[in-house]
Amino acid sequence: MPSAADRAGVLIVGAGPTGLLLAAELVRRGVRARIVERESVRSPASRALAVSSRTLMLLDDLDLAAEAVRRGHPLRQVEVHDVSGRPDAGGGRPGGSGPGGSGRSAGRGAGRSGGTVVRLPIGRVPSPFPFTLSLPQPQTEDLLRAHAARLGVRIDTGVECAAVRQEGDHVVAQLRHADGSTRTVHTDWLVGCDGAHSQVRRAAGIATHGFDLPETFALGDVVTDWARERAHGQVTFSPAGVVAAFPMPGPRHWRFIADLPDLPGIDDLPGAHSDDHADHSDDHADHSDHSDGQADDRADDRADHSDDRADPDVAAELQRLLDARLTDPPRLTETLWTTTFRVHQRRAESFRRGRVMLAGDAAHSHSPVGGQGMNTGLQDAYALGWRLALVATGRADATLLDTYAAEREPVADRLLAGTARATRVITAQHPVARRARGLALRLVAASPPLGRRAAAALSQLGLGYPHGPLTDLDPHRIGRRRGVPGPGALAPDVALAPDVALAAPDGPTLRQATRTPWFSLLLFAGSDDAAARRLHDDAALIHARFGDLVTARIVATAPTVRDTRDDPSGGEHSGGDHSGGAHSGGARSGGAHSGDDGTVLDPAGRARARYGAAIGEAVLVRPDGYLAYRSTTDPVGRLERYLRTHGITPAPAGVAAPASTTAAGRTS
């Protein structure tokens, strides 16, 4: 039996986006964490293309967003066309512009496809990144991998987690290396980020529930001279089926997705038959439960065979479907990646069992409609990271981990229900259902607020935990007013400089000014000097008592002077910067909008107005960016009560880990 010291740490199974982010989140908070990844060669499959506005804000917290935006392609609108009523739509256009065919059509622009056009404005959401970014998944993983490497995260590739067993106060994992040898690792905590066919989930005895959708889809990432607006995604309903198209980075790069008609021979396409996947997954998993999974795509299985990335049969079928369904079908001149898939909606019945947790596709898998999968996995990792860091370093009760499951399981439920509904609506073929869809589209077209609501859902900015276990609703209903963020809401970002837009690339913002790996307490002083002085005292006391677990920042219209005569911290922090050094800076961060005394300068009162905050009000922001509570009395006592209530020791949390952090686990 290894000693407690030997086995301290967290073992993460799977180096997909979820595992990479989780490891980095743990290590930057001083936890020993290590990843094992089954594959030795990384998958080139582009899979997740849509990076939501919420995810970009998360990446910005880690200083990765600017690079993501540089590499990606912003999408500002989704156009939905219903060409069902057009005489030339869905007629098949046999012999159209297939690969090697007669060339593309006249290239009629957006809005000229006829029928109903609904425009969803996904480029105007309230965020420093007010758009959805088109960025292939390997690029997002590159950014996360480099970030994890900078922090010293160890990734062992070619190592499969073959078995997991919980023993009292630790977990025993059996690791199978590429050379066939096995090792046993003891770890305090284990997180399965091992995708839709999670072995960790099965080994932990966590069942899944869900259902299958009948449709099969073909997907192709292609090069084409399609004359549609490059900042717009396109969804076209025709009597023959649906086509979705999204611009990708690259001058003429697009992704096309179409549902496959139920025709003889369709099942011969690779991946179109769900048993295909079962055949392949046997290579990797001893205990495969073949009913699990998200898209039954073969992307993972092909990962090692880059010459097999673009299947000419799938490309030809896709071209045929585009010719049949679009009024201006593009000619696919080059195919970069293809896949076909069926959709299984699945969610693990529990995201935590003892010392084993699940995140990302291992916890929930669903239709790619709406592009929510990777984004949700990243939010899982962000939600779990700080909690597990507090627990793993002995700063919080293990019950804090139950709040991860309690918050994220309902998110997965809503996601599964929403994506299933959307997929059914999109693929509906019954004439009555199609008429209902047409009617709904006309309603949205006539009502811009409905369109804005749909766009907001895609951005994931509206997602919060107002009824979550870590949300303290105030009996006086502070912040429960319309338009004002209440407890449980995502802390809105605000441009601090008076004449700068929130989306300006270099504009100072509130989030940038108050970044910290742990909790952030906003103390609103406005232009009231007396209030500011009182709040400075509170902030100093908070720093003395909680260290970097809580960074208190006074938000005021002008630099404020602190009276240090009765300094509760013994003068140690006179000057008023109560960040304890936790403020991590960043591309748009820091000094430009902070006073010398550590005040967050809000000269036009924009932040206070956006938060609807009274003078003297305290707003606690959790490490994952959600409001914990709002309070107008006793900032220090209120904070202490909150932390204790939720099993968090109100004492310094420890500093970010040095790059040399050792990896978790003891091998035997």
Size of the site for ligand FAD (CB under 6 A): 37
DSSP β-bridge partners for residue 192? 13, 358
Q: Count CA within 13 A, CB hemisphere, residue 63.
A: 17
Which range touches ligand FAD (CB under 6 A), out of 56-64, 226-234, 292-300, 527-535? 292-300
Q: How far is CA 663 from CA 26, 48, 129, 156, in A?
A: 11, 29, 34, 10
Query: Rounded CA gap, 211 and 214, in Å?
Result: 10
Largest CA distance in the chain: 86
297 binds ligand FAD, rule: CB under 6 A: yes
Instruction: Please say which residue, 18 or 208, places its beta carbon nearer to ligand FAD.
Output: 18
Report the nearest approach of ligand FAD to the CB of residue 51 (Å).
7
Q: Could you tell me if 520 and 551 are in contact, meaning their C-beta atoms sit under 8 angstroms apart?
A: yes
Instruction: Please say which residue, 48 or 531, places its beta carbon nearer to ligand FAD.
Output: 48
14 binds ligand FAD, rule: CB under 6 A: yes
User: Which of these, 389, 606, 424, lies nearest to 508 by C-alpha position?
Assistant: 606
Q: Judged by CB under 6 A, which of 288, 372, 460, 599 binds ligand FAD?
A: 372
296 binds ligand FAD, rule: CB under 6 A: no
Report the nearest approach of ligand FAD to the CB of residue 37 (Å).
5
**E strand map for 349-435:** 352-353, 356-358, 364-365
Q: Could you tell me if 254 and 224 are in contact, meaning their C-beta atoms sit under 8 angstroms apart?
A: yes
Report the nearest approach of ligand FAD to the CB of residue 250 (Å).
16
Residue 222: strand, helix, or coil? strand
Q: Judged by CB under 6 A, which of 18, 105, 224, 427 binds ligand FAD?
A: 18
301 binds ligand FAD, rule: CB under 6 A: no
Here's the x/- map for ligand FAD, 520-559, by CB under 6 A: it reads as ----------------------------------------
Q: Judged by CB under 6 A, which of 7, 10, 17, 202 binds ligand FAD?
A: 17
Which range touches ligand FAD (CB under 6 A), out of 1-9, 100-108, 121-129, 374-382? 374-382
Q: Judged by CB under 6 A, which of 9, 30, 368, 625 binds ligand FAD?
A: 368
Residue type, 547: G
Q: What is the DSSP string of 112-166?
A: -S-SEEEEE-TT-SSSSS-SEEE--HHHHHHHHHHHHHHHT-EEEETEEEEEEEE
Q: Judged by CB under 6 A, which of 29, 47, 154, 387 binds ligand FAD?
A: 47
Report the nearest approach of ligand FAD to the CB of residue 48 (Å).
3
Instruction: Please say which residue, 25 or 577, places its beta carbon nearer to ligand FAD.
Output: 25
479: left (phi > 0), else alpha (psi -120 to 50), else beta? left
Contacts of 373 (CB under 8 A, 6+ apart): 48, 294, 361, 365, 366
Q: What is the dihedral of CA 410, 145, 28, 188, to 10 degrees?
A: 70
16 binds ligand FAD, rule: CB under 6 A: yes
Q: Which residues from 309-328 bind ligand FAD, rule CB under 6 A?
A: none
Q: Judged by CB under 6 A, which of 233, 329, 373, 576 binds ligand FAD?
A: 373
HEC string for 550-588: EEEEEEECCCCCCCCCCCCCCCCCCCCCCCCCCCCCCCC
Which range touches ligand FAD (CB under 6 A), out of 45-53, 59-67, 502-510, 613-621? 45-53
Report the nearest approach of ligand FAD to the CB of residue 360 (Å).
2
Instruction: Please say which residue, 14 or 115, places its beta carbon nearer to ligand FAD.
Output: 14
Which range touches ligand FAD (CB under 6 A), out of 364-372, 390-398, 458-466, 573-581? 364-372
Query: Rounded CA gap, 587 and 64, in Å?
Result: 9
Q: Judged by CB under 6 A, which of 19, 464, 568, 623 binds ligand FAD?
A: 19
Report the nearest approach of ligand FAD to the CB of residue 296 (Å).
9
Which range touches ligand FAD (CB under 6 A), out of 16-24, 80-88, 466-474, 568-576? 16-24
User: H/E element holding 607?
Assistant: helix 606-611
Instruction: Please say which residue, 344 or 536, places its beta carbon nearer to ligand FAD.
Output: 344
Question: Which pair of tokens denotes residue 165?
Answer: 């067993």
Q: Is the dihedral of CA 32, 162, 303, 322 positive or negative?
A: negative
Which range touches ligand FAD (CB under 6 A), out of 109-117, 164-172, 371-379, 415-423? 371-379
Instruction: Please say which residue, 256 or 546, places its beta carbon nearer to ligand FAD.
Output: 256
Q: Judged by CB under 6 A, which of 26, 27, 243, 295 binds ligand FAD?
A: 295
Name the DSSP class of 307.
G
Query: Rounded CA gap, 301 and 281, in Å?
Result: 7
Q: Judged by CB under 6 A, which of 339, 367, 379, 419 binds ligand FAD?
A: 339
Instruction: Please say which residue, 165 or 435, places its beta carbon nearer to ligand FAD.
Output: 165
56 binds ligand FAD, rule: CB under 6 A: no
459 binds ligand FAD, rule: CB under 6 A: no
451 binds ligand FAD, rule: CB under 6 A: no
Q: Which residues from 180-239 bind ligand FAD, rule CB under 6 A?
A: 193-195, 199, 219
Query: Rounded CA gap, 639 and 629, in Å?
Result: 9
Question: Which pair of tokens denotes residue 646?
Answer: 């939720």
Give the β-pairing of 50-51 and 132-134: antiparallel
Report the nearest approach of ligand FAD to the CB of residue 498 (Å).
36
Query: Rounded CA gap, 597 and 299, in Å?
Result: 53
Instruction: Please say which residue, 176 or 331, places its beta carbon nearer to ligand FAD.
Output: 176
Q: Which residues from 23-42 bind ligand FAD, rule CB under 6 A?
A: 36-39
Q: Judged by CB under 6 A, which of 128, 241, 293, 371 binds ligand FAD?
A: 371
Question: Which pair of tokens denotes residue 394?
Answer: 């002995």
User: Which of these, 397, 396, 404, lies nearest to 654 by C-alpha position?
Assistant: 396
13 binds ligand FAD, rule: CB under 6 A: yes
Q: Could you tell me if 244 and 256 are in contact, meaning their C-beta atoms sit under 8 angstroms apart?
A: yes
Q: Which residues from 131-170 bind ligand FAD, rule CB under 6 A?
A: 137, 160-161
**E strand map for 193-312:** 208-224, 232-238, 241-247, 253-259
Query: Rounded CA gap, 260 and 325, in Å?
Result: 12
Site for ligand FAD, rule CB under 6 A: 13-19, 36-39, 47-50, 137, 160-161, 193-195, 199, 219, 295, 297, 299, 339, 341, 360-361, 368, 371-375, 377
